[in-house]
Amino acid sequence: MSGALAHPPGGSAPLPEITANIGSHLPAMAATVPYQRAVVVPAGRDAAGRTTWSHLTFAQLDRASDVYAAGLLQAGIGRGTRTVLMVKPSLEFFALTFALFKVGAVLVLIDPGIGRRALLQCLQEVEPEAFVGIPAAHVARLLFPKPFRKVRAHVTVGRKLGWGGHTLGSLAALGAKSVDSFRMADSRPDEVAAILFTSGSTGIPKGAIYTHGIFDSQVRQIRALYSIEPGEIDLATFPAFALFDPALGMTSIIPEMDARFPAKADPRKLVEAIEAHGATNMFGSPALVDNLSRYAAAEGLRLPSLKRILSSGAPMRRDILDRMQRALTGGAQIFTPFGATESLPVASIGSAEVLAEGAGAAGRGICVGRPAPGALVRIIRIHDEPIGEWSSDLELPPGEIGEITVRGDVVSAGYYARPEQTRLAKIREGGAIVHRMGDVGFFDPLGRLWMCGRKSHRVELPERTLFSEPVEQTFNQHPAVRRSALVAAGSGRPALVVEREPGSPLSDHALAAELLAFAKKSELTHPIRDVLIYPGTLPVDRRHNAKIERERLAIWAAERLK
């Protein structure tokens, strides 16, 4: 029976059974540590202004998800039902997610921060059959009905304002009548568990198809890679990663922030949550870590409870790593797992190794570490067309820059309803799938992977190709530069767009002149003849608030260089 407990020979205590269904990790934890807090969320403020908290233990979360699962089945949401979940990070978000896994539904997660047009496009492609969301999401469903033509079941998490379907309360009441006979779906490892949409920061959002087996492999690899132990406490600033917490045996602390805009998270509230609960782990976007590191440096703070910080979604600058490292104690580090929605983790490195490289690493790219266990990472010739079958002559030797590819148990097989994008991103190798990361890089003599930017962001000149990360790193060393972006400003003309470091006394004209003079001294940067100072902060992706939108900047730069 899926999710059942197996009794060891000669023992009296049952051992939890982990099945192919990723939802089985929750009852396993409930059987092992029933009274450990599973999810903790802000509940308000007390008279002294301190945050008060509400929580569910693993036993409570498991029971709640069982009740909801039983109700979902009664409401017509079961195995294979494509179900959009639009609920803010909360106790209900976790309970509903595991309920959907338990019934074998296909969970559809789309970050609402990607914008209305992209969101509606994603919904149109996935053709949901059920919809679970907060009232505002249901209002949007009624205002834009086209993507929801196939929806047959609705659940409102909050007040229902006249539309049909169930409230969360009525769903729970329905499930309570049949929960005792509920049995988790005996999902196969190759059965679809979720459709997770990419951010679309370098193109259109695409729905990566996740199986139960991929989720299970990710849980095992993340646990082994970072030595995560049951009983740890995670400050969960990114909802998609927080879903791994119950399977990893970690308590999820949901801080007071809008998860759609991590760059705007108040670092004081993050620190309050870390200190109130003794967080040992934190996952956050580079933009969030940047703000937290600046606050910690300004206040002279130390965060001794943290064992590690994980940050991905965009390259992490060395200055951010250095500042954040100073707030950690003991052997704690910032790890920057390299990967994508389609495959994570691919590689990883800790801040101790990155910072030991010193200034000599500038201009080489971002060292993202050694391949993760189970990941076969190879570099192939840069190619913009589909590659149907793997061939050994595709691969480049160490030291040469090419496109990064990965094969392994965490690689998704394709995109939902996107056959052309699947052809461009996937290569068949026997019975396996090789994913083309869309990033370029190389292996150094120590077997470490270096990332040199997105393939689509390269600037091809008659005599050479410029890659974004090495070029930008070189300029970012200037104290008046907060970050920069290499773009092709019309007809492949290379230009550098610069965001100033706040407080610099240099005028825009003086800064541009200094950077141009600096460019002429380096073989790497001498082709650049145009430096433009951007008015304000560079535009970044909506999901992580960290990936620079170079496509927009290329248009902006071309207009100014006419």
- How sure is the predictor about 173, in pLDDT bands with cuts at 50, 70 and 90? very high
CATH code, domain with 526 = 3.30.300.30
**Are 482 and 442 in the same domain?**
no
Quick check: 475 and 484 in contact, CB under 8 A?
yes
Quick check: is 46 in a domain? no
Q: Write out pLDDT tens, residues 363-379.
A: 789 999 999 999 999 99
Domain range for 61 is: 5-40+53-205
**Are 235 and 138 in the same domain?**
no
Q: What is the model's pLDDT at position 199?
A: 72
**Are 269 and 172 in the same domain?**
no
CATH code, domain with 269 = 3.40.50.12780
**Are 252 and 357 in the same domain?**
yes
Task: Please determine, for residue 392, whether its predicted confidence score (pLDDT) is greater than 80.
Answer: yes
- How sure is the predictor about 174, in pLDDT bands with cuts at 50, 70 and 90? very high
**Are 235 and 90 in the same domain?**
no
**Are 261 and 400 in the same domain?**
yes
Quick check: is 352 in a domain? yes
Task: Please determine, for residue 11, whether its predicted confidence score (pLDDT) is greater than 70.
Answer: no
- Give Cα separations from 139 to 145, 156, 161, 503 (angstroms): 10, 11, 9, 44
Task: Please determine, for residue 545, whether its predicted confidence score (pLDDT) is greater than 90.
Answer: no
Domain's final residue, options 157, 174, 205? 205
CATH code, domain with 59 = 3.40.50.980
**Are 197 and 229 in the same domain?**
no
Lowest mean pLDDT among 164-178, 181-195, 350-364, 442-456: 350-364
* 125 residue type, one letter: E
**Are 447 and 543 in the same domain?**
no
Terminal CA-CA length for the chain = 69
Domain's final residue, options 205, 226, 243? 205
Alpha carbon distance 214, 344 (integer Å): 10
Domain's final residue, options 438, 454, 470? 454
Quick check: 254 and 39 in contact, CB under 8 A?
yes
**Are 405 and 450 in the same domain?**
yes
Task: Please determine, for residue 6, whether its predicted confidence score (pLDDT) is greater than 90.
Answer: no
**Are 20 and 151 in the same domain?**
yes
Quick check: is 356 in a domain? yes
**Are 138 and 199 in the same domain?**
yes
Q: Write out pLDDT tens, residues 104-121.
A: 999 999 887 788 888 999
Quick check: is 387 in a domain? no
Q: Write out pLDDT tens, residues 45-76.
A: 999 999 999 999 999 999 999 999 999 999 99
**Are 24 and 163 in the same domain?**
yes
The count of domains in the chain is: 3
Cβ burial of 70 (10 Å; 0-12, 13-18, 19+) is buried
Q: What is the model's pLDDT at position 547?
A: 85
